[in-house]
Chains A and B, each alone.
Chain A
Amino acid sequence: MSRNPSTILKASPTAAIDPTASGCPTPREETEQILLGHGSGGMMSADLMRRVFLPAFDNEVLAAMEDQATVAFPSGRRLAFTTDSYVVRPIFFPGGDIGRLAVNGTVNDLAVGGARPLYLSAAFILEEGLAIADLKRVVRSMREACDESGVAMVTGDTKVVDRGKGDRIFITTSGVGVVPAGRSLSIRNARPGDRILVSGTMGDHGIAILSVREGIEFETVLESDTAPLNGLADVLLEACPDVRCLRDPTRGGLSSALNELAKGSGVGVELEESAIPVRPEVRAACELFGLDPMYVANEGKLIAVVPRETAGRALAAMRSHPLGRDSAVVGEVVSSHRGLVVMTSPFGGQRMVAMIAGEHLPRIC
């Protein structure tokens, strides 16, 4: 998706020319695989744009093919802006793919700031040899994810790297949204007495990826939970405008998100282990690999910190949304052990839930 208007504009009229007729060694336009030329900014880049990206993200802003996207923006509110890169392997997995992840991840980063996500950009780094059919499948997913969350993909970029220098496809998405006047969600807002809610089961995404990567099958197909959270966040914020903080516990899982909250707000966090929803198959896989669901990634789950008085209303609101059916109150904010997350086991014993150091590696035996 080169945004260089000169190459795009020059390329468009040449689409009707058959390069092979002139004896030129330029590859045919309609290749089945990504070739280095698709990242050249020339005719083949334009071809990729025409074949894959423009039809997928069909909108006027993108179609204008400017160097930048110029969009109408609601005034009087605050701008939210975020960016994230996606390098997941394999690129297709149960419950989603890298494209869906790339859109939902950025939408969610905006949603947990209380913003209404509006516009996205996508930068693709493609490995030479990637099947165009796979790229189209990824882009189709991205379009569907955009539609689900009500955002428009308005600008982007494509680069191609030599075979062996990438991992099929990397995607960086950036997004902008607006935060309504008077809304301020932050990891600095938590106060002792607040309740901590999660919108569903923990660890589904990380274990779904692990199971396909390592070829391990479970009794039921475990799917990634990748989903756009802005709809769920809207429902919650409408029912409880006094929500203190929202987080999406992605890499590092629930543990990292709550440790950031404890440090950011200078409070302690206490969790009830038995209240934290975890699918039996995720728990079983974690047992098998020696992993802890507290540290496993999620891609469609929300953590909400709400005042004690409105926790019941918040829980009911979250449960009313399809993505929040399994919502639960899992803990509370306390004034003791500031900066630390402590979990009470079903036996009444307590342990600290620290941030993970390095990668979460499976144990030896």
Chain B
Amino acid sequence: MRHLDEYRDPSAAKSLLRSIRRATTRAWTLMEICGGQTHSILKYGIDELLPPEITLVHGPGCPVCVTPVELIDKAVEIASRTGVIFCSFGDMLRVPGSHGDLLAVKASGGDVRLVYSPLDCLSLAERNPEKTVVFFAVGFETTAPANAMAVRQASRRGIDNFAVLVSHVTVPPAMSAILESPDNHVQGFLAAGHVCSVMGCAEYETLAERFRIPIVVAGFEPLDLLDGIHHCICMLEEGRIGVENRYARAVRPGGNERAKELMAEVFEVTDRKWRGIGTILRSGYRLRSEFARFDAEARFDLGALRAEESRSCLSGLILQGLKKPHECPEFGGRCTPTSPLGATMVSSEGACAAYYQYGRMKVAAG
């Protein structure tokens, strides 16, 4: 924790807050991309400590939130089959599909297991040769390398009773879609540090140039976020565009070459649907044809699943920074973490869940 405490030092935070106040002369709207950043901002009360001119809006960077309901339905369907061990990261288990979630499948007798690494699924598959082990491969560029590694190892070790249900999404196309929207009011971005640690900053340079905006690569600790906000505000005030890497302890400009090679070997870019937003061109990954035998969607006949989403859920607008969670009429009423209408309320990184968990007091107080 020694290393983390450095990034949570209250006196350094107060000093950064003073710098932000000094630098701010007019109203600015910044978007933090990642749900983990949203979580930290609300947990440490950073949004309340900023000068009133600065508005933080929350981006689409919660992998659980943006996984489309169709994929959840497919996961639920596969997990319900006999002879299947369905594995997932923890916070996907409670995300509602059209008719229930994975925890409900588990309660009904499905073999649904929580794993911490996709590689755990390979040993599970080897120990259970009579079963098919399916891993729900969701997430951004951060989880993709490990998932690619699992598929490649399964291929090399001949573990044919392993498959992945792929729902990978990538960040830059989503940022582009937000900036292209006629309703957009985001003026600067805090890019997700861990995504950049894998992918590097090149794509962000292109985005910054194209949309004439500042993008600051930021980490997840309170001081990382305050420092990122400070730099983004300075760039805005000075009229500078471009990318600043303020998370240099983790992010090299070129990213992680080995991880990128691995992803490129196993995955290829595809159009991907985002929950609540719709299809964004070239915004996701799918398995390359050489690895098609590990594709769970191809292996299981899923028939015609018809997905249904709550009509009253505003998560799509919230994920694009167009609405704040408490502006949703269902927030805290019909939609709570115990009975969520949409994924932004269920994931621990979802903006609605974070507002509910940390910020409902403000709403209650009016």
Contacts and interface: CB of A to CB of B under 8 A. Distances in A.
A224 B62 CA distance: 33
A217 interface: no
Given A214-B116, A351-B42, A364 B89 contact: yes
Interface in B174-219: 194
A72 interface: no
A365 interface: yes
Interface string A73-86: 00000000000000
Contacts of A214: 116
B361 interface: yes
B358 interface: yes
A11 to B, nearest CB: 38
Contacts of B244: none
Interface string B331-355: 0000011100000000111000000
A342 B1 contact: no
A364 B91 contact: yes
Interface residues of A, number: 28
Given A354-B357, A357-B337, A358-B94, A347 B143 contact: no
B45 A349 contact: yes
A214 B90 CA distance: 13
Main secondary structure of the interface of B (DSSP, over half): helix
Contacts of A357: 336-338
A147 interface: no
Interface string B123-142: 00000000000000011101
Nearest to B61: A365
Contact of B90 (A347, A350, A351, A362): A362
B142 A346 contact: no
Contacts of A359: 94
Interface string B24-49: 00000000000010000011111111
A347 B138 contact: no
Contact of A348 (B45, B63, B338, B359): B45
Contacts of B337: 357-358
Contacts of A361: 90-91, 93-94, 114, 348
Given A361-B91, A363-B349, A349 B48 contact: yes
Nearest to B63: A364
Contact of B45 (A284, A351, A363, A364): A351
Interface in A313-352: 337, 340, 342, 344-352
A137 interface: no
Contact of B359 (A344, A352, A364): A352
Contacts of A290: 91, 348
Contacts of B364: 337, 340
A287 interface: yes
Given A345-B44, A354-B360, A362 B91 contact: yes
Interface stretch (B7-15, B148-156, B249-257, B259-267): B7-15
A337 B45 contact: no
Interface in A29-50: none
Nearest to B357: A354
Given A347-B44, A361-B91, A352 B361 contact: yes
A280 B3 CA distance: 11
Given A342-B361, A363-B347, 12 more contacts: A214-B116, A344-B45, A347-B49, A348-B14, A351-B44, A357-B336, A357-B338, A361-B91, A362-B114, A364-B92, A364-B138, A364-B143
B122 interface: no
Contacts of B43: 345, 351
Contact of A337 (B116, B357, B365): B365
B64 interface: yes
A349 B93 contact: no
Nearest to A279: B1
Contact of B4 (A287, A351, A358): A287
A320 to B, nearest CB: 29
Given A280-B1, A361-B91, A363-B90, A349 B46 contact: yes
Nearest to B141: A365
Contacts of A280: 1
Contact of A364 (B46, B90, B361, B365): B90
Interface in B80-122: 89-94, 103, 114, 116
Nearest to B353: A357
B356 interface: yes
A183 interface: no
A292 B62 CA distance: 18
Nearest to B10: A346
Contact of B139 (A283, A354, A364): A364
Given A214-B116, A280-B1, A347-B46, A365 B338 contact: no
Nearest to A341: B361
A292 to B, nearest CB: 8
Contact of A365 (B14, B142, B357): B142
Contacts of A347: 10, 13-14, 17, 44-46, 49, 222
19 contacts: A214-B116, A283-B4, A284-B4, A287-B1, A347-B44, A347-B222, A349-B44, A350-B45, A350-B361, A354-B358, A362-B89, A362-B91, A362-B116, A364-B64, A364-B89, A364-B92, A365-B63, A365-B139, A365-B140
B70 to A, nearest CB: 19
Contacts of A364: 63-64, 89-92, 138-139, 143, 347, 349
B22 to A, nearest CB: 17
Contact of A363 (B17, B348, B365): B348
> Which 9 pairs from chain A and chain B are nearest by CB?
A349-B45, A357-B337, A361-B90, A351-B358, A362-B90, A346-B10, A364-B89, A352-B361, A357-B338
Contacts of A351: 42-45, 358-359, 361
A210 to B, nearest CB: 11
Contacts of A358: 94, 103, 337-338
Contacts of B94: 358-359, 361
Contacts of B140: 365
Nearest to A214: B116
Which of B63, B91, B93, B347: most chain A CB closer than 10 A? B91
Nearest to B1: A280
Nearest to A280: B1
Contacts of B10: 274, 346-348
Contacts of B349: 363-364
A346 B17 CA distance: 13
A284 B90 contact: no
Contacts of B103: 358
